Amino acid sequence: MFEDLKNKNVIITGGLGFLGKQIVNAFCEEGSNIIILDNKKKTSSKKFEHFCCDISKEKSLKSISKKILKKYKKIDILINNAASNHDIKNKIKSFEKFDLKIWEKDILIGLTGSFLCTKIFGSIMSKQKKGGNIINISSDLGIIAPDQRLYNHTSFSKPVSYSVVKNGVIGLTKYTASYWAKKNIRCNAFAPGGILNNQDKTFISKIKKLIPLNRMAGVNEYNKTILFLASDASSYMTGSVVVSDGGRTII
């Protein structure tokens, strides 16, 4: 569908996670060269190359960037998708009792990690004649606050750190879009709604009522939107926040 993505070199952080796997599969179908950065155990696949790493470690990222450049010669697309576990259990969902260690871990991976990857791989793009493309994965909860009523009588909730990270990557997107515009680097954010994935039935029943389309997203429903942002079809877009949430944030 997006012929210009064939043979493009695409770095995807958190590519072994739930949403990350869908993004990886989408680029596989377009014939892209996929490089995954993920802290999960190193995997072997003909579809992609995996670097097991902690994206909050600048020295490690710089070392990996040299290996990527040596093999692939250039970096076309960076997708900042990595984040800590998004849901927390009831025993710690109270804001007043939220653990500083969880806060620091979530910020470190989701926000500091995105900053470092953007800094290191974006700097490489800035030296390339054709620049590059950075896509930051935010959330509808980077635009609106979590509705706390959704989590009553459920076993989980969204932590404050999730909202802060997803707001933060939008700010990072706008800053870098302006900063690197002259270097032909486009930076956009994608803000998806929740994906149906065997969640608590009470939660699903409640959240459907807040979504005009009356459902959560399907597991592969965001793929083409991300491919659009990565392709030349969005060549005049930078600094944008593309929302795909079934209409939840419009009401």
Mean pLDDT to the nearest integer, 51-57: 97
Q: What is the pLDDT of residues 104-162, one digit of tens each?
A: 999 999 999 999 999 999 999 999 999 999 999 999 999 999 999 998 888 788 899 99
Domain hosting 132: range is: 3-250
Mean pLDDT to the nearest integer, 191-214: 95
CATH code assigned at 169? 3.40.50.720
Q: Which residue has the tokens 């960037």?
A: 65
- What is the average pLDDT value for the chain, to the nearest integer? 95
Residue percentage of the chain with pLDDT more than 70: 96
End-to-end CA distance of the chain: 33
Cβ neighbourhood burial of 18 (10 Å; 0-12, 13-18, 19+): exposed
Structure tokens at 133: 């493309």
Q: Would you state the pLDDT for residue 13? A: 98
pTM score: 0.96
Q: Would you state the pLDDT for residue 214? A: 98
Q: Grade residue 97 by pLDDT with cuts at 50, 70 and 90.
A: confident
Strand partners, 37: 13, 51
Q: How far is CA 232 from the centre of its chain?
A: 20
Q: Grade residue 22 by pLDDT with cuts at 50, 70 and 90.
A: very high
Q: Would you state the pLDDT for residue 89? A: 63
DSSP class of residue 52 equals: E
Structure tokens at 156: 């989980």
Q: What is the pLDDT of residues 219-235, one digit of tens each?
A: 999 999 999 999 999 99
How many domains in the chain?
1
